[in-house]
Amino acid sequence: MSTKQYTYCDYAAGAPCRPEALAAFAEFATQHYSNPGAHHPLAYMAKKHLYELHERMGRAIGADPREIVFTSGGTESDILAVRGMLAEAKAPRNELVISAIEHHAVLLEAQRLERAGTRVHYAPVSASGVVDLEALRRMVSERTALVSVMYANNETGVLQPVHEVAKIAHAAGAKYHCDAVQAFWKLPVNPKEIGADLLTLAGAKFGGPKGTGILYNEMTNRLAPVIIGGPQEWGYRAGTEDLSGMAALAVAMELANAEQGRVWTHVEGLRNRLEETLAKALGEHIRINGAGAARLPNISNISFLHIEGQAMAIQLGEAGFCVGLGSACAPGETDPSHVLAAMGSSWEDAIGCIRVSFGPDITEQQVDRLAQLCIGNYKHLRGLG
Ligand SMILES: Cc1ncc(COP(=O)(O)O)c(C=O)c1O
């Protein structure tokens, strides 16, 4: 079976790797294979490349090369940020504040820290999925070590007021971690402009290879490494450096930045077209989660009432459309989403949801076909005429 038979509408879970990134990967894997920690001419060349690649990854987000820690992706970066900062936190400044809609990488790490004795506060969100800044303000204090609030939610695409969150954290003397995994490529992402002290990116979401990512780590942070055993990545992540992954990631970051804004305007129009067509045909039978807030241009989170989202997703798959459920990264994908629960959705709304996330190549014909399939499947599953 060929992947070409399918219309891929699951970009929030992972984008195809860009050929230019793959070419850079191959070049580094075959030409610059030396371990940069060794002591011979090829190692010295590799070390020079290592620094240059950190410079390029840093430049793409307005950061210094020494502020870039290369990781295996969003999960590792999130865990390094939260665990690493809390490990260095000293009483009385040793509390953690996160939003209730963080990715599981942050959420489960926060829960683990809580079980180990850390005081964790979970900031609620509004019905449209935006963090409640007043509630957050009440939770952040001189006892807060770190605030972690994502840029754009991976299930709904809802944008968070990251600049205000940074100000609240800093006013209390706390550090701010921003998971910008979904925002990069669609929006300008610059940690210094946002006011983020730590920021997570995952290459697989914008055309880098799977297993590549970054933690931006502002120079004055005190961060404990999670992977120990060597001095690599400024001491924050041990292990022989993956120059090939870095080269591919640097290329993907540069290309994503160059495209940003330009490729998404028409996608937003098509995302809106899908939602309008569904609303017109199915009215009260659906809900567009997060529609009341500013959102990423490519994500639509739709609850089909009184059916299971999984049944819808399977039927769409059989008809050639790949869509997500609430979140492909959720442990036990059929569990109702913690994000929709935090937005006050009923169990039923949450269980009936699918996540459509378009890529830049989506066409009007494909969107119209998808809409008609959703309408037909829904009527069939509900036994409606
Ligand atoms: C917002 C967010 N954070 C973190 C992650 C985890 O990234 P990775 O799969 O690269 O570990 C994801 C993955 O979907 C995500 O959407």
Q: 249-285 burial string, b = 16+ CB within 10 Å, else e?
A: bbbbbbbbbeebeebbeebeebbeebbebbbebbeeb
The answer to whether 329 is a known catalytic residue is yes
Give Cβ neighbours of residue 21 (< 8 Å, ≥ 6 apart).
203, 207, 208, 209, 248, 249, 251, 252, 255
Domain residues for 53? 19-259
- Asked if 245 and 278 sit in the same domain, the reply is no
Ligand 1 center–CA 203 separation, angstroms: 10
177 close to ligand 1 (CB < 6 Angstrom):
no
- Asked if 204 and 323 sit in the same domain, the reply is no
Ligand 1 center–CA 286 separation, angstroms: 27
- Asked if 248 and 348 sit in the same domain, the reply is no
pTM: 0.97
Pocket test for ligand 1, best of 10, 17, 79, 181 (most atoms within 8 A of CB): 181
- Asked if 279 and 182 sit in the same domain, the reply is no
Give the alpha-carbon dihedral of 365, 367, 371, 373, to 10 degrees.
Answer: 70
- Asked if 221 and 280 sit in the same domain, the reply is no
- Asked if 305 and 189 sit in the same domain, the reply is no
pLDDT at position 19: 98
- Asked if 278 and 251 sit in the same domain, the reply is no
Ligand 1 center–CA 60 separation, angstroms: 19
Pocket test for ligand 1, best of 149, 158, 214, 329 (most atoms within 8 A of CB): 329
Per-residue pLDDT 10s for the chain (385 aa) are: 678 799 999 999 999 999 999 999 999 999 999 999 999 999 999 999 999 999 999 999 999 999 999 999 999 999 999 999 999 999 999 999 999 999 999 999 999 999 999 999 999 999 999 999 999 999 999 999 999 999 999 999 999 999 999 999 999 999 999 999 999 999 999 999 999 999 999 999 999 999 999 999 999 999 999 999 999 999 999 999 999 999 999 999 999 999 987 899 999 999 999 999 999 999 999 999 999 999 999 999 999 999 999 999 999 999 999 999 864 445 455 578 999 999 999 888 889 999 999 999 999 999 999 999 999 999 999 988 6
Ligand 1 center–CA 357 separation, angstroms: 14
CATH number of the domain within which 245 lies? 3.40.640.10
pLDDT at position 261: 78
Domain count of the chain? 2
pLDDT at position 334: 57
From 211, 232, 259, the end of a domain falls on 259
Tokens of 135: 């509630």
pLDDT at position 349: 84
From 259, 275, 301, the end of a domain falls on 259
- Asked if 7 and 26 sit in the same domain, the reply is no
**Planar angle of CA 205, 207, 208, nearest 5 degrees:** 90
pLDDT at position 329: 42
- Asked if 236 and 276 sit in the same domain, the reply is no
- Asked if 209 and 74 sit in the same domain, the reply is yes
Q: Which atom of ligand 1 is nearest to the CA of 14?
A: 14
From 238, 259, 280, the end of a domain falls on 259
- Asked if 69 and 191 sit in the same domain, the reply is yes
78 close to ligand 1 (CB < 6 Angstrom):
yes
Active site residue: 178, 329, 353, 374, which one? 329
pLDDT at position 27: 97
- Asked if 367 and 298 sit in the same domain, the reply is yes
